[in-house]
Chain A
Amino acid sequence: MFCRSVTTPIVKPVNGMCNLSCLYCYTSGLKKCIIRNRMSSKTLRAVINLFCRDQEDIEFIWHGGEPLLAGLEFYREAVEAQRTWEKQGKKIKNFLQTNATLITSEWTRFFAENNFLVGVSLDGPKEFHEQVRRYPTGKGSYDEVMRGISLLRQAGIFNGIICSISTVNVGFPKEIFNFFLTENIKKLKFARVKNIGHCGDVSSLVISPAQYADFMITIFDLWLELDDSEVEIRDIESVVSLILGGNKRECIYMGQCDQFVTVYSDGSIYGCDSFPKTNDLYFGSVFDKPTMVRSNSRLQNFRELLEKRKGFCRTCDWYFICKGGCAKDCYEQLDSIEPLSEVCENLQRYFEYISTKIRSYDLI
């Protein structure tokens, strides 16, 4: 067992390669930042074997760049390699995050036959989405994305939306919320566009923690007002559950950032891809023995750092929710122990708002 570290791989079979050129993507701007290698069959098998060997329940998250660029045959090989482990009783699940523009009925048939769940990136109504999620030619991708979503729905494998919130759409929470409802898209996750060491300059699109908190508070009110239990907004449901004494936790509220790792096409294993290819979070390779990866000194250092951060935050009233928060979002540097006050203040404001609302109904 991986001792809860390095359990969940975010696999990037084509690294940052993508058919789109979204303005806020961390590979946007300078094409030289993109390593254009597809994962080989040998590396793919090593990925599957490394993560299946010591775990009973394994989740593979296929990510990019655009993971469909790896080609259907790549995923056929992945599933075939997983079968060997499933025959030994392992439970394996596959999730894939795509821009949906390359989805065809052949893809959806394969995904459906092999129980993949597929999430799509869509930044709200066409007028917002097309300002940022474009082809390299500058053409917007909205129509192709919606066509892809339609195919995924028909196949019963559509797993909801990640909607990135940038300066383009942060001022329009109601329009975005209503748009998704109108399109009958009821499984949502919002993500703040931030600077995580991009190749290009994304500063014009980055929003502050305060702007994001305002946005999410409005979304919470809209969600409450709508009162439709089919509408799932991951972050809000997580915070609500935790305030009510439950244990739904988004990864950013787990305090276990060492659980997630990114596997690049050459088989190298790094920390969560919020830290793209950060040397201090290089934990080894899929060709290493699991014990070597587990005992990697950088991984040990990262674990110690997470514990120190939790120690610092433990006296906070909201520690039971955020557990020290996202290792990337909440801290200025990788070695920082004290979280950024701007992030904390706005998370606290968001938690307090939801908590007060719940309290007003005598539920706590």
Chain B
Amino acid sequence: MSDSVTKADSHPVPKVLLQAKKEATMQVSGKEKLWDKAWEKGPWDKGHWANRK
């Protein structure tokens, strides 16, 4: 059994990481939605929060 399979069996990859990986791949391939391209400009989701308060 390969090392990665062993890891997958004992510690399934968290969904949040799988989703992040999927998003990252889409960003790089340019398949992200137009709104998401705002990341290039700056704030990265629907609602920038200034850094401090």
Residue numbers of A with Cβ under 8 A of B are 4, 7-8, 10, 57, 59, 61, 63, 95, 97, 117, 119, 121, 159-160, 162, 164, 189, 191, 196, 223-224, 227-229, 231-232, 234, 237-238, 240-241, 244-252, 254, 256, 259-260, 272-274, 326, 358, 360-363
Contact = CB atoms under 8 A, between A and B. Distances in A.
B51 to A, nearest CB: 6
A191 B51 CA distance: 7
B45 to A, nearest CB: 8
B47 A247 contact: no
B50 interface: yes
A252 B42 CA distance: 10
Interface residues of B, number: 34
A326 B51 CA distance: 10
A308 B45 CA distance: 29
Interface in B18-53: 18-21, 23-25, 27-28, 38-53
A159 B41 contact: no
A159 B24 contact: no
B51 A249 contact: no
A223 B44 contact: no
Q: Which 3 pairs across A and B sit closest by C-beta, in order of nearness?
A: A246-B24, A244-B24, A117-B47
B25 A249 contact: no
Given A119-B47, A246-B24, A259 B42 contact: yes
A237 B36 CA distance: 14
B14 A59 contact: no
A167 to B, nearest CB: 17
B14 A189 contact: no
Contacts of A273: 50, 52
A121 B51 CA distance: 11
B41 A7 contact: yes
Contacts, number: 128
Contact of A248 (B13, B19, B44, B47): B44
Contact of A238 (B42, B44, B48, B49): B44
Contacts of B42: 7-8, 59, 249, 251, 254, 256, 259-260
27 contacts: A8-B43, A10-B50, A61-B50, A95-B48, A121-B53, A159-B46, A160-B47, A164-B53, A223-B16, A228-B16, A229-B15, A231-B16, A234-B45, A240-B20, A241-B24, A246-B24, A246-B25, A247-B39, A248-B45, A249-B44, A250-B44, A260-B50, A273-B50, A274-B51, A274-B52, A360-B7, A362-B4
A205 B10 CA distance: 42
B20 A97 contact: no
Contacts of B38: 57
B11 A361 contact: yes
A227 B49 contact: no
Given A121-B53, A162-B53, A164-B53, A244 B48 contact: no
Nearest to A256: B42
A97 B53 contact: yes
Contact of B53 (A191, A196, A223, A234): A191
Contacts of A237: 20
